[in-house]
Chain A
Amino acid sequence: MPEHNTGADWINVDFISVTMKNKKKTPTFEETAKAYLSNTQLRRNIGHATHTIREKRETVVGEMPDWEILREAGSQLKKRVMRHLDDYLLQLEASVQEAGGKVHWAGDAEEANRIIADLVKEQQAEEVVKVKSITTDEIGLNQALAGEGIRALETDLAELIVQLAEDEPSHILVPAIHKNRSEIRELFRKKLNQQELSDRPEDLAEAARLYLRKKFLNAKVGISGANFAVADTGTVAVVESEGNGRMCTTLPETLITVMGIEKIIPRWRDFEVFMQLLPRSSTAERMNPYNSFWTGVTEGDGPREFHLVLLDNGRTNVLADEVGRQTLNCIRCSACLNVCPVYERTGGHAYNSVYPGPIGAILTPQLRGLDDEGAASLPYASTLCGACYEVCPVKINIPEVLVHLRGKIVDRKKREGGLKTKTDPEHVGMRWMGRAFTKRSRYERAQKIARLGQKIFVRDGTISNLPGELSGWTAMRDLKPIPKQTFREWWGDRDE
């Protein structure tokens, strides 16, 4: 192993702005990716994990003859939800209340955290157990609760690992994908006081199980996210692999569920579509091991109180954008992460968001807004190779949205104007070439100028060193010089 720290502690993750409302400047993707690319352990862990899930997914999707029809159905259902989101939300509120639950509306992260903290305090609880939920990571719930003297304990094995390591999740589905088992053993040895622990997955799981079981039995309040909520029945669903979610949603007397407003599905029968799409796309399973559904409260069974917190936090802005809107179709399966050639190399932390990978590259900038420089760098963190769109179970055309967002970023730059934009080499180059391409004579002149201009860089028939922005190319690649004759010049000679 090379002589450097492994794991994620080695990089400062303090800068990750968790609350979307908090307009902290985040670093750009290119700045952060550079550091992660040179972490050999991370490259190996993530490369191995994504390839494994990728192949498994291909197998279980391949055995479905109607996969494309299911994808289309999923996409259409979600599109309908987005078109009538206002109606569906009110319908959901009514049906949850009718089933004995309470509904709370949160405009942003701060409001959601306030609502949840007050609910927990009402129960006089100092510790809450949590089901894995990215939405609560998005709003920075754990930190907010800590500020109120409430300890939020993650019970998903991977989330627990991340929490114990004081790290940040790096994958939507597999938050600790960047850690291997020997790293986890070291962590458990230190934090769970398990000196004799081996690095066998069974032993690691058992250590976590012993630790968590006591917590489940004593918790007064459980907090969960939601995979789906059914508008016409008020049913909330969480799918998971470990059973800790089932514990959190059934053992405590009070259950609080935080859910982005886009997670609605219209009817119970729509599960037919999503319960096939989600497990095969995410964990590459035919069915999730644990599928929990609850509708309000039930006398003598499960929690006495159920609260549903409906979170906007930027989602209505996404909804307002006709091209960007499809981003809200996402069911958080993470198939796009696993197949992405960029994510595979940089890992999730490079995206500086709880939503990494291709979906994060379109969701984060829309939720945070494009004036956040880090968020605005994400739509460029893609080669537009299209692998993400191909696997998306709800057919989000991620490359289309990426390009759309790039357009918005440039339009914004142009509106702002100023010296920075005017002297930006990309901006100058694009403007100049844009002009050249609009007229044949200008284009042909530009070809000649480029051919002449390159002369100072050509050595032995190749360009190996370019200045400024273009040095990114020649740092690692040679560049072929422009040949003596363009094709059109050859064509002209041929005609004569």
Chain B
Amino acid sequence: MQISLFITCFNDTLFPETGKAMVQLLERLGHQVDFPLEQTCCGQMHYNTGYQEETIPLVRRFVEVFGEAEAVVAPSASCVGMVREFYSKVAERAGDPELANAVEEVIPRVFELSEFLVKELGIEDVGAYYPHRVTYHPTCHSLRVLHVGDAPLILLRNVRGIDLVELPAAEQCCGFGGTFAVKNADTSMAMLGDKIRHIKGTGAEVCAAADNSCLMHIGGALKRQRSGVEPVHLAEILASTEETE
């Protein structure tokens, strides 16, 4: 399959390793990956913060860039959630029926990585090797917006060498919430504190998730506390093999 990588601005700028892992993984599974360079940002940060007018050109851009793609896959449940949940509302706000049609048309072809692999391609074992103790944090948007269910866990369970440990109170939000983490830094930290306690309690050396945004927040506290736990994106674990480890 020809897969267009929707890297997201956040991963493009801050987490290039996740993007590289996406390419390695999808190519290893026998697909062709292209990366349309005209892509920028899905507009989630603007939309969720209330700068919704600013989102209109970004939605236009997205459908122009990805409109013809066979499948659009992103290493971010949150950004895919933005496309699926709010793009039609942005089109409505723009008062542009043509844009609304284009959005409706592209949405069924936009996927988050784990749902794409498990639900679209029907792959449960990607042939990865990752000899580490890992706990998995299911991000809110992967759970409650995309409803990926246990797709990420199915993939992780089939990774060779992995020691996967269950995270207590896993479904509780980590407290990131985009600009919430700055605007309501104290409440955000109170939420993160409990998440960190649960992660450390598992004895894992790696905390994995389907969103680097949440992982940046979780990882920021793990690092500050010198906890010895590393945040790693799901794609990077799935891309690992005996050769790369």
Binding site for B on A (CB under 8 A): 29-30, 33-34, 37, 43, 341-342, 345-346, 380-387, 389-390, 400, 403, 406-411, 414, 426, 430-431, 433-434, 436-440, 443, 447, 450, 462, 464, 469-470, 472-473, 475-480, 482-483, 485-492
Contacts and interface: CB of A to CB of B under 8 A. Distances in A.
A385 B144 contact: yes
A383 B211 CA distance: 14
A483 B16 contact: yes
Given A34-B186, A37-B190, A488-B37, 4 more contacts: A345-B191, A410-B49, A437-B40, A483-B16
Interface in B120-167: 140-141, 143-145
For the residues of A in contact with B, the DSSP-based class is helix
A30 B16 contact: no
A491 to B, nearest CB: 5
Contacts of B190: 37, 43, 345-346
A478 B187 contact: no
Closest 4 CB pairs of A and B: A383-B177, A477-B220, A472-B185, A410-B50
A387 B173 contact: yes
Contacts of B54: 430-431, 434
Contact of A382 (B23, B58, B177, B216): B177
Contacts of B66: none
9 contacts: A381-B187, A403-B86, A436-B40, A438-B57, A472-B181, A478-B219, A478-B221, A480-B219, A487-B12
Given A341-B191, A410-B51, A30 B186 contact: yes
Contacts of A486: 12-13, 16
Contact of A409 (B50, B173, B178): B50
A403 B48 contact: yes
Interface in B94-123: none
A480 B185 contact: no
Nearest to A406: B50
A253 B78 CA distance: 58
A347 to B, nearest CB: 11
Interface residues of B, number: 65
Nearest to B186: A34
B144 A387 contact: yes
Contact of A478 (B7, B184, B224): B224
Given A37-B190, A438-B57, A476 B185 contact: yes
B29 interface: no
B189 interface: yes
Contacts of A384: 48, 140, 177-178, 180
A462 B223 contact: yes
B177 A385 contact: yes
A487 B19 contact: yes
B41 interface: yes
Contacts of B20: 487, 490
A439 B41 CA distance: 10
Contact of B176 (A383, A406, A475): A383
Contacts of B61: 437-438
Interface of B: 7, 9, 11-16, 19-20, 23, 35, 37-38, 40-41, 43, 45-54, 57-58, 61, 85-86, 140-141, 143-145, 171-173, 175-192, 216-217, 219-221, 223-224
Nearest to A443: B40
Given A473-B181, A476-B189, A389 B144 contact: yes
B141 to A, nearest CB: 7
B223 A478 contact: yes
Contact of A476 (B12, B35, B221): B221
Given A473-B220, A483-B14, A487-B19, A437 B58 contact: yes
A37 B191 CA distance: 10
Contact of A491 (B35, B144, B184): B35
A156 to B, nearest CB: 29
B86 A440 contact: no
Nearest to B214: A383
A414 B177 CA distance: 23
B46 A430 contact: yes
A37 B190 CA distance: 7
B51 A430 contact: yes
A450 B178 CA distance: 18
B224 to A, nearest CB: 5
Nearest to B190: A345
Contacts of B43: 437
Nearest to B86: A403
Contacts of B12: 447, 486-488
Given A341-B172, A383-B140, A470-B182, A434 B51 contact: yes
Given A385-B177, A430-B51, A464 B184 contact: no
Given A37-B190, A386-B144, A483-B14, A477 B221 contact: yes
A383 B173 contact: yes
The winner among A383, A403, A430 for most chain B CB atoms within 10 A is A383
